[in-house]
Chains A and B, each alone.
Chain A
Amino acid sequence: MTEVELSPEVSEYTEVHRHPEPKTFISKWIFSVDHKVIGIQYLLLAVVAAFVGMGLSLLVRLRLVWPEKSFAILGDLFPVGAPDGVMTPEFYLAMLTMHGTIMVFMVLTTAPQGGFGNYFLPIQIGAADMAFPTLNMLSFWTTFVSFSFLMAAFFVEGGAPMAGWTGYPPLSAVPEAAVQGIGQDLWIVSIAFFCIASLLAALNFIVTTLDMRAKGLTMMRLPLTVWTWFVTAILGLLAFGVLLAAGVLLLMDRNLGTSFFVPGGLVVSDKAIDHSGGSPILWQHLFWFFGHPEVYIAILPGMGVTSHLLATFARKQVYGYKAMVYAVAAIGILGFVVWGHHMFVSGMSPYSAFVFSVLTMCIGVPSAIKTFNWIGTLWGGRIRFTSPMLYSIGFVSLFVSGGLSGIFLGQPTIDLYFHDTYFVVAHFHLIMGVAAIFGMFAGVAFWFPKMFGRWMDESLGKIHFWCTFVGVYAIFGPMHYLGMLPHPRRYAEFTGVDYLQTGGAGDLHYFITVAAMFTITVQFLFLFNFVKSIFAGKPCTEANPWEATTLEWTIPSPPPHDNFGGKVPHVYRGSYDFSLPGAKRDFAMQCNKDEAVYGGAAAGD
């Protein structure tokens, strides 16, 4: 076993047991128990899923603008869904459903948590691996199975499910209502596997954070990234079990004749449906009890990365570190009691709507604290505009834009108008979709040198940032205006609605589609930069190229097996000691003793 060279920044360390390196290709890269490899596996899965999901969104956009147009290639790929290349309305809904499901589960849940969390949480807390490495491997491969089931839904008879990513019964529970085969069943099975994978992963993250921190690394010294991964894991642990239960019930309703969600006396196209006594609203409660925390599962890690990067590149301490931690915790807790705001117009009790509304507004408060503190972190800093920093600043802007529209939707009175219109689509895409993805872009650009020992192309990164930043505003800004008209969502075309023929809906749609085509094209620039840099990027030999403070920057790039090579650094300070007055440099790493920071007799030089 080769000796690992720890950065000279490390003042003291503890020696721990080292595990032997895996020898074979399979144990090293496929069924690996190394959290770093698993993190990369998650990231690659998310990249594939993101491009599939993006392709689907392109189809959705094309169909909206040119409902009658024939795309020859689609006719070949999907002879049933797009006969002669013209997309049918049910094909549109299937693409929409799969876009939502893939993006929410396979991208927004996997990459920030399973990808970056897996890779960097153990390193940032000074651990050699996750608490349960084998379980970690199982989590990934269960996720992979889930992804495979979801992809299979495209190719079965009847095609992919079309009940939306929320899978509301009876549409999802009564096969006759959706004219479909087993696509919906595969969807449910996929979700169930995903739940199991996420539960196992959440368990692992929580134990790792609680039990494996380096000496001196107290909870209030944790990097905010670790805090958000930790809270996200708690949310996942408590939320995914509920979705799993709901999924099992739905699968039984579809296939075994039970009636949990399907009421009696239904007549679908003149045919009586043999169910009795269930309630579609029960599904909605179970689903959104999971669904709302899921929103935070997607966005919290992005918040963590943003806080981390703003401090690092503004060369400034995080403004109000404790407030940031409490805000994350508050968002996590409140996230479990606001699910009803998805159901204001569902027929749920109007009295409970009021309670949910007030709680929802309360969640705006910690979000406001975060925004304020992000700006406070920049204020008075010495900003270095690297590409990861640009993505982080973009995140803040998108977070503000996407968050404030939530203030409209959180009020039942106003939701009466905006519910299920494009206003909602704009809202959640900006905040949970794009902002979270900017968090991922930031993470990739920031940690790339550590993960691969090479640099990503900085100019390409900046071009990609500018195009994407403008592009996403161009896509989702106008969707708010569509919502004002109001344009109902999930419409395969809007030619049937009279009031949408005037008022510019067509122009807006056209503009959005063009913006989407542009933005999607630009993403290939990112993909190119990512893949090219893995193999041919400029080598990065330094341990700490960004002059950052946390523990991952004390080890070689890429990190060796076991991360610290059996020598876990001791931690002496918080995560964001930038620009300390009187210090020799403008940053103090967590493993630096005071003597090393300020000089003095004990510094050893």
Chain B
Amino acid sequence: MTTTTLTPTETQTEPTTNGGGTVARPPHRYGGGSSGPFSNRALIQRYKLGVWIGVGGIIMFFAALTSAMVVRSGLSNDWKPFDVPWILFLSTAVLLVSSFTLEGARRRMIAGDWTGVRLWVNGTAALGSVFLACQLLGWQALSERGFFLASNPANSFYYLLTAGHGLHLLGGMLALGYVWMRVRAPQRWATREAVIEAAALYWHFMDVLWIYILGLLAFWR
């Protein structure tokens, strides 16, 4: 029987917070770690990896809808192309701006200015709500033209894709709410940063996804 002495090689300490936002020593995965405004790189990396993997799953969902749309449009002569409502371009602009505001929040976080973070997160959430409202107006505009969900497959896919994206964006809004809570009640420094980084990544992906969907709706006839 082998007996070996147990020797702890490195010691990680629980990340501490003093409420204001400065952290003494950033814990790293196997100890060490870099100092500076970015603490707890490992956690940030993990959360961002999670978002990237999730993006893979979401892409498959929309890829399936896209292929269904492409196939369906070629199946029958009941496909009636239509112009997308102009308000979608407004909503696109709003969404793009919201990405910049969230980026602003991330900048404030790096600077350690947590009041600023809250401000920018609030702004982003507001723009997100405006985007969703625009999407609803888009639905209204379409239905006023007499295009309903079941009118023809082109309309079905319009409602489906915009709703699918909207729901995913709503998920992003929830994440922002979580960020907001975390920022307000300073509990664990590390998760707070990681969540902001992850939410920002997800939000930017929502932009890309939306532009893709808009392109698909506008150009696939």
- Quick check: do A and B touch in the complex, using CB within 8 A? yes
B62 neighbours in A (Cβ, 8 Å): 245
Q: Mark A1-26, 1 if CB is under 8 A from B, else 0.
A: 00000101111111111000000000
A282 to B67 Cα, complex, angstroms: 9
B149 neighbours in A (Cβ, 8 Å): 252, 256-258
Q: Report B154 CB to chain A, min CB distance, Å.
A: 11
B58 neighbours in A (Cβ, 8 Å): 241
B50 contacts A278, C-beta separation under 8 Å = no
A238 contacts B57, C-beta separation under 8 Å = yes
B160 at the interface (CB under 8 A from A): yes
A603 at the interface (CB under 8 A from B): yes
A109 at the interface (CB under 8 A from B): no
A603 and B4 contact, Cβ closer than 8 Å, known pairs A203-B54, A286-B64? yes
Contact partner of B6 among A13, A279, A286, CB < 8 A? A13
Smallest CB-CB separation from A16: which chain B residue? Answer: B12
Smallest CB-CB separation from A210: which chain B residue? Answer: B49
A172 to B118 Cα, complex, angstroms: 49
B156 contacts A238, C-beta separation under 8 Å = no
A593 and B4 contact, Cβ closer than 8 Å, known pairs A14-B10, A242-B61? yes
Q: Mark B40-69, 1 if CB is under 8 A from A, else 0.
A: 001001100110011011111111110110
A605 at the interface (CB under 8 A from B): yes
A207 neighbours in B (Cβ, 8 Å): 46, 49-50, 53
A603 contacts B9, C-beta separation under 8 Å = no
B78 contacts A276, C-beta separation under 8 Å = yes
Contact partner of A249 among B45, B68, B79, CB < 8 A? B68
A260 contacts B68, C-beta separation under 8 Å = yes
A203 contacts B4, C-beta separation under 8 Å = no
Contact partner of B9 among A8, A17, A570, A604, CB < 8 A? A570
B75 contacts A244, C-beta separation under 8 Å = no
A206 at the interface (CB under 8 A from B): yes
B75 neighbours in A (Cβ, 8 Å): 277-279, 282
B185 at the interface (CB under 8 A from A): no
Q: Mark B73-110, 1 if CB is under 8 A from A, else 0.
A: 00111110000000000000000000000000000000
A584 to B2 Cα, complex, angstroms: 9
A131 and B4 contact, Cβ closer than 8 Å, known pairs A15-B10, A237-B56, A277-B76? no
A567 at the interface (CB under 8 A from B): yes
A12 to B153 Cα, complex, angstroms: 63
B3 contacts A8, C-beta separation under 8 Å = yes
Smallest CB-CB separation from A11: which chain B residue? Answer: B4
Smallest CB-CB separation from B69: which chain A residue? Answer: A260
A258 contacts B64, C-beta separation under 8 Å = no
A604 contacts B64, C-beta separation under 8 Å = no
Q: Report A283 CB to chain B, min CB distance, Å.
A: 9
A248 to B5 Cα, complex, angstroms: 58
Within 8 A of B (CB), among A195-225: 199, 202-204, 206-207, 210-212, 215
B8 at the interface (CB under 8 A from A): yes
B150 contacts A245, C-beta separation under 8 Å = no
Q: Report A473 CB to chain B, min CB distance, Å.
A: 38
Q: Mark A246-263, 1 if CB is under 8 A from B, else 0.
A: 101100100011111001
A98 to B69 Cα, complex, angstroms: 30
Contact partner of B150 among A10, A256, A593, CB < 8 A? A256
A12 to B4 Cα, complex, angstroms: 9
Number of chain B interface residues as a range: 35 or more
Contact partner of B68 among A238, A282, A605, CB < 8 A? A282
Smallest CB-CB separation from B149: which chain A residue? Answer: A256
B50 contacts A203, C-beta separation under 8 Å = yes
A240 at the interface (CB under 8 A from B): yes
A245 and B30 contact, Cβ closer than 8 Å, known pairs A6-B6, A256-B149? no
A241 contacts B57, C-beta separation under 8 Å = yes
Q: Report B11 CB to chain A, min CB distance, Å.
A: 5
B4 neighbours in A (Cβ, 8 Å): 8-11, 593, 596, 603-605
A593 neighbours in B (Cβ, 8 Å): 4
A263 neighbours in B (Cβ, 8 Å): 76
Contact partner of A258 among B46, B54, B153, B164, CB < 8 A? B153
B61 neighbours in A (Cβ, 8 Å): 241-242, 244-245
A212 to B43 Cα, complex, angstroms: 10
Q: Report B146 CB to chain A, min CB distance, Å.
A: 15
B31 at the interface (CB under 8 A from A): yes
A603 contacts B153, C-beta separation under 8 Å = no
B160 contacts A14, C-beta separation under 8 Å = no
A604 neighbours in B (Cβ, 8 Å): 2-5
B14 at the interface (CB under 8 A from A): yes
A14 contacts B72, C-beta separation under 8 Å = no
A264 at the interface (CB under 8 A from B): yes
Q: Mark B156-169, 1 if CB is under 8 A from A, else 0.
A: 10001000100000
B57 contacts A282, C-beta separation under 8 Å = no
Contact partner of B64 among A242, A278, A603, A605, CB < 8 A? A242
Smallest CB-CB separation from B11: which chain A residue? Answer: A15
A481 at the interface (CB under 8 A from B): no
B5 contacts A132, C-beta separation under 8 Å = no
A418 at the interface (CB under 8 A from B): no
B150 neighbours in A (Cβ, 8 Å): 256-259
Q: Mark A148-173, 1 if CB is under 8 A from B, else 0.
A: 00000000000000000000000000
B45 neighbours in A (Cβ, 8 Å): 211
A91 at the interface (CB under 8 A from B): no
Q: Report A33 CB to chain B, min CB distance, Å.
A: 14
Contact partner of B30 among A6, A14, A203, A605, CB < 8 A? A14
A256 to B150 Cα, complex, angstroms: 7
Smallest CB-CB separation from A588: which chain B residue? Answer: B2
Q: Report B191 CB to chain A, min CB distance, Å.
A: 11
Q: Report B60 CB to chain A, min CB distance, Å.
A: 4
16 contacts between A and B (CB under 8 A): A10-B4, A12-B7, A202-B53, A211-B46, A240-B57, A242-B60, A242-B63, A244-B61, A244-B64, A256-B149, A257-B149, A258-B153, A278-B72, A567-B8, A584-B2, A603-B4
Closest 6 CB pairs of A and B: A277-B76, A257-B150, A241-B60, A241-B61, A245-B64, A242-B64
User: Given known contacts A17-B27, A276-B78, A286-B68, what 10 new A-B pairs fall within 8 Å (CB)?
Assistant: A12-B8, A15-B8, A203-B50, A246-B68, A249-B68, A257-B149, A264-B76, A277-B78, A567-B6, A604-B4
